[in-house]
A and B are shown apart, each in its own frame.
Chain A
Amino acid sequence: MRDVLLVRYGEVFLKGANRPHFLKVLTDNIKRAVKPLGGRVWLSDSRVYVSDFTDLAATVDRVSKVFGVYSVSPAVETEKDIDVIAAEAVNLMKGYSGTFKVQGKRSDKKFPMNSMEIAAEIGHQVLEANPALKVDVHKPQHKLMVEIRDNAYLCVEEIMAVGGMPMGTGGKAALLLSGGIDSPVAGYQLMKRGVRMCAIHFQSPPYTGELAKDKVLQLAKKLAFYSGGMRVYLVPFTKCQLEIHEKCPDELGTLITRRFMMRIAQRIAKDFGALALITGESLGQVASQTMEALCCTDAVVDMPVFRPLIGLDKTEIMEIANRIDTYETSILPYEDCCTVFTPRHPVTKPKLDTMPKVESRLDVDALVEEAVQGTEMVIVEP
């Protein structure tokens, strides 16, 4: 008999011929997550198991944050002997009261009892040993799961995990990380779909300071927890902003700035091997996020731009930010490059065909090139 953690995976189930690959990645990611705590991880018979851990609560916490994991249950592993299993079941249900049911499951068809018989026998013995329990097979308060596989496994609690797809199975992308509330959430949403990513941050000294950079690296660190390390590209953006401010109409300033960011980001993304850009835009949130404005920013890049927050309200975004623990860092009050020359009245319905004319006053290619050349890369460890 020993304690193990039973890990169920979600959508990976739906995969066909690719399933072994997804499961290998998922198992490796769980291994990486529990490594600091010790613990053996193995895949067997459509479950991932963790054993030999030192701290159950910490192991549960880490495993339940691995993308691709549907739920986890602290479980007891015993030999496949109905008396031994029953004794363990009685022991496990000792502290419980109220209604319960036993759910049997038998993937080892050589085991002499079928699922129904297992459930009936175990339920009977538990009921005799603990008078505080009553059977309710329809809406039980507690569900004792008994699974007969390579060994027998018993568990009562099921802790829901993050779900999603295993990190690394969703391709590579580049996240535009500003330091605000939205962009870390956007990154998280796509990491959840298995996307590995780098972050790109624009800095505008002397209009932004060292604290703003530190804040972005802190946010990247929070995200790096999920991916096991993250590259952050720091782009010197002052010159672009000053040129735009000097030569372009004020009301178009933010939009043209966004277009520069996208151009530079695409260059860096391609170097990184990314196939898409990710931004934290939400439709209509600010002037540069109206549908017309998004058309103008998309027009300067040829890779897809993923905007996972496009249909979310600010409150919904804040809720996720709180859950992934980036909110408190995001609201630190350091000026970022987006707020440096905010025009008083930005256009909300820009016309795409006016953009090239306005931008012809600038040496776009040279400015982009200079920013890309001056970019500094930092690797952030979780």
Chain B
Amino acid sequence: MAQAYLDNSATTRPCEAAIEAVTACLREGWYNPSSVYRPSVEAFRRVREAREKVLRAVRGEGCDAIFTSGGTEANNLAVLGAVNRMRGRQVVAVSAVEHPSVLAACEALERQGHDVRRIGVSLGGELDWEALEQALSDGASLVSVMQVNNETGWLLGGERLHDFVNGRALVHVDGVQGFLRVPFDMKWADLYTLSGHKIHGPKGVGALVVKKGVKLEPRQIGGGQEGGWRSGTENTPGILGLAAAIDAMLALGADMPERLMQKKLRLIRGIREAVPEATVNGAAPEASAPHIVNIGFPGVRGEVMLHALEGEGVYVSTGSACSSKKLKVSAVLTAAGLAPGRAEWAVRFSLSPHTTDDEIDYAAARAGELYRQLVRFQRR
């Protein structure tokens, strides 16, 4: 059992309200929201309320929300759906550090003949604005940039991006890692992706928020549910679970992000006290997302640190995938200019509003002890 679960960017523990909503829906509210008798109409009404909740959470009153199977589907729908609805060859600008569900969609666009520009990001979390400007002046019709980078906590897609693009292209923001932990306003984007299981909701549900007037080519066709944008009988347990999770997050109060930031700073302080050599990879902690921090433990591979912490009941992740022949390091960190040797040391800690100070202090202390043991043994 975990003594400290600090991998909330991978997934979060479902909250009681979400579990309750899912099981109640499976037990009693299981009717098909497309049917016309009373219990079905009730299910339909519940889904509509959930949709309104999603929209309110991103100040998107007047927008549409398409429920999807999660963040990946919503990102695919945003990128492929928007470009496939346009005529001719398009220029698309994405940050080079997007989630694979955006990057793979862009590769698919390239195979269709579109021109994809990957915009670099500095280690400090600054988009290469010049390159973005170039893409826009070359006629880019879609800009897709994530709200919060999953490995580093960089704040990328928001008001500043919106002001820069200034209506010259559609803006899609992948908000999977930011939703409800970093405030967002649909004024800043035309399309916004969110996912249930990153905010203590169930897996298998997410949404794409779409500003009125934005045209999308559906990726899944059939019975015409979700306004024809996403056919298939609605995942009512998931949708109601997501709605319950949103309510529970909002109930934590408007100052929750600030409290979350304090937790993160406490963790960084704790680790730095225990391991003075540790470095923060990315932007200054105060200038990045309140729940993600990427820390380098010099001389110890992230994967080894991860397994060592696992042995103490502390669950974290690395940005890197490892292969027995060749060590691959985080593409995000190396793209941002971190030397591969240093990227190999990276460990990502990600918090939730429910993370306790005890968990944080325990993790920092264990990390310190383990680091002292492990740093003695390095591959020569």
CB-CB contacts below 8 Å: B190-210 with A:
none
Q: Does any Cβ of A come within 8 Å of B307's Cβ? A: yes
Chain B residue contacts of A250, Cβ below 8 A: 380
Candidates A210, A242, A335, A343; contact of B377 at CB < 8 Å: A242
In contact, A206 and B380 (Cβ under 8 angstroms): no
Q: Does any Cβ of B come within 8 Å of A311's Cβ? A: no
Complex CA gap A373/B379 in Å reads 28
Interface residues on B, range: 20 to 34
Complex CA gap A245/B321 in Å reads 24
Q: Does any Cβ of B come within 8 Å of A13's Cβ? A: no
Complex CA gap A99/B346 in Å reads 70
In contact, A206 and B377 (Cβ under 8 angstroms): no
Q: Does any Cβ of A come within 8 Å of B98's Cβ? A: no
In contact, A246 and B377 (Cβ under 8 angstroms): yes
In contact, B307 and A336 (Cβ under 8 angstroms): no
In contact, A206 and B322 (Cβ under 8 angstroms): no
Q: Does any Cβ of A come within 8 Å of B304's Cβ? A: yes
Q: Tell me the smallest distance from the CB of A207 to a CB of chain B, in Å.
A: 6
Chain A residue contacts of B310, Cβ below 8 A: 206, 209-210
Q: Does any Cβ of A come within 8 Å of B323's Cβ? A: yes
Q: Does any Cβ of B come within 8 Å of A382's Cβ? A: no
In contact, B304 and A207 (Cβ under 8 angstroms): yes
In contact, A344 and B308 (Cβ under 8 angstroms): no
Q: Considering the complex, give the chain A residue whose CB is closest to the CB of B305.
A: A206
A209 touching B379 in the complex, CB below 8 Å, given contacts A333-B322, A335-B324: no
In contact, A206 and B323 (Cβ under 8 angstroms): no
Q: Does any Cβ of B come within 8 Å of A208's Cβ? A: yes
Q: Using an 8 Å CB-CB cutoff, how does the interface string of A202-214 with B read, 1 for contact, 0 for none?
A: 0001111110000
Q: Considering the complex, give the chain A residue whose CB is closest to the CB of B370.
A: A206
Q: Tell me the smallest distance from the CB of B305 to a CB of chain A, in Å.
A: 7
Q: Tell me the smallest distance from the CB of A248 to a CB of chain B, in Å.
A: 12
Q: Does any Cβ of A come within 8 Å of B311's Cβ? A: yes
Q: Does any Cβ of B come within 8 Å of A306's Cβ? A: no
Complex CA gap A209/B307 in Å reads 6
Q: Using an 8 Å CB-CB cutoff, how does the interface string of B305-327 with A read, 1 for contact, 0 for none?
A: 11111110000000001111100
In contact, A206 and B324 (Cβ under 8 angstroms): no
Complex CA gap A208/B324 in Å reads 10
Chain A residue contacts of B309, Cβ below 8 A: 206
Q: Does any Cβ of B come within 8 Å of A334's Cβ? A: yes
Q: Using an 8 Å CB-CB cutoff, how does the interface string of A268-283 with B read, 1 for contact, 0 for none?
A: 0000000000000000
In contact, A336 and B377 (Cβ under 8 angstroms): no
Complex CA gap A134/B321 in Å reads 63
A343 touching B380 in the complex, CB below 8 Å, given contacts A209-B303, A335-B303: yes
Q: Does any Cβ of B come within 8 Å of A225's Cβ? A: no
Q: Using an 8 Å CB-CB cutoff, how does the interface string of A329-367 with B read, 1 for contact, 0 for none?
A: 000011110011111100000000000000000000000
In contact, A205 and B311 (Cβ under 8 angstroms): yes
Complex CA gap A259/B379 in Å reads 20
Q: Does any Cβ of A come within 8 Å of B376's Cβ? A: yes
Chain B residue contacts of A341, Cβ below 8 A: 377, 379-380
A333 touching B380 in the complex, CB below 8 Å, given contacts A206-B311, A209-B303, A209-B307: no
Complex CA gap A180/B380 in Å reads 23
In contact, B307 and A205 (Cβ under 8 angstroms): yes
> Which of B307, B322, B380 has the most chain A CB atoms closer than 10 A to its own CB?
B307
Q: Using an 8 Å CB-CB cutoff, how does the interface string of A250-279 with B read, 1 for contact, 0 for none?
A: 100000000000000000000000000000
CB-CB contacts below 8 Å: B356-380 with A:
370, 374, 376-377, 379-380
A339 touching B324 in the complex, CB below 8 Å, given contacts A245-B377, A246-B376, A344-B380: yes
In contact, A333 and B323 (Cβ under 8 angstroms): yes
Q: Considering the complex, give the chain B residue whose CB is closest to the CB of A205.
A: B307
A333 touching B321 in the complex, CB below 8 Å, given contacts A205-B311, A242-B377: yes
Candidates B304, B321, B376, B379; contact of A206 at CB < 8 Å: B304
Chain A residue contacts of B308, Cβ below 8 A: 205-206
A335 touching B306 in the complex, CB below 8 Å, given contacts A205-B311, A206-B311, A250-B380: no
In contact, B322 and A334 (Cβ under 8 angstroms): yes
Complex CA gap A207/B307 in Å reads 7
Chain A residue contacts of B380, Cβ below 8 A: 250, 341, 343-344
Q: Using an 8 Å CB-CB cutoff, how does the interface string of B277-319 with A read, 1 for contact, 0 for none?
A: 0000000000000000000000000011111111100000000
Complex CA gap A250/B321 in Å reads 26
Complex CA gap A207/B304 in Å reads 5
Complex CA gap A110/B323 in Å reads 68
Complex CA gap A348/B97 in Å reads 43
Complex CA gap A178/B63 in Å reads 55
Complex CA gap A242/B378 in Å reads 10
Q: Considering the complex, give the chain B residue whose CB is closest to the CB of A179.
A: B324
CB-CB contacts below 8 Å: A231-258 with B:
242, 245-246, 250
Q: Tell me the smallest distance from the CB of A215 to a CB of chain B, in Å.
A: 10
Chain A residue contacts of B322, Cβ below 8 A: 333-335
CB-CB contacts below 8 Å: B310-361 with A:
310-311, 321-325
Complex CA gap A342/B304 in Å reads 15
Chain B residue contacts of A207, Cβ below 8 A: 304, 307
Complex CA gap A250/B322 in Å reads 23
Q: Tell me the smallest distance from the CB of B321 to a CB of chain A, in Å.
A: 7
Q: A206-B311, A333-B321 are in contact. List 11 more A-B contacts (CB 8 A).
A: A205-B307, A205-B311, A206-B310, A206-B374, A208-B307, A209-B306, A209-B310, A335-B324, A339-B325, A341-B380, A342-B379
Going nearest first, the 6 A-B pairs with the smallest beta carbon separation are: A206-B307, A333-B323, A206-B308, A209-B307, A339-B324, A206-B304
Q: Which residues of A line the B interface, CB within 8 A?
A: 180, 205-210, 242, 245-246, 250, 333-336, 339-344
Q: Which residues of B line the A interface, CB within 8 A?
A: 303-311, 321-325, 370, 374, 376-377, 379-380
Q: Can you list 26 A-B contacts with CB-CB less than 8 angstroms, sorted by A residue number?
A: A180-B324, A205-B307, A205-B311, A206-B306, A206-B308, A206-B370, A207-B304, A207-B307, A208-B307, A209-B306, A209-B307, A209-B310, A210-B310, A242-B377, A245-B377, A246-B377, A250-B380, A333-B323, A335-B322, A335-B324, A339-B324, A339-B325, A341-B379, A341-B380, A342-B379, A343-B380
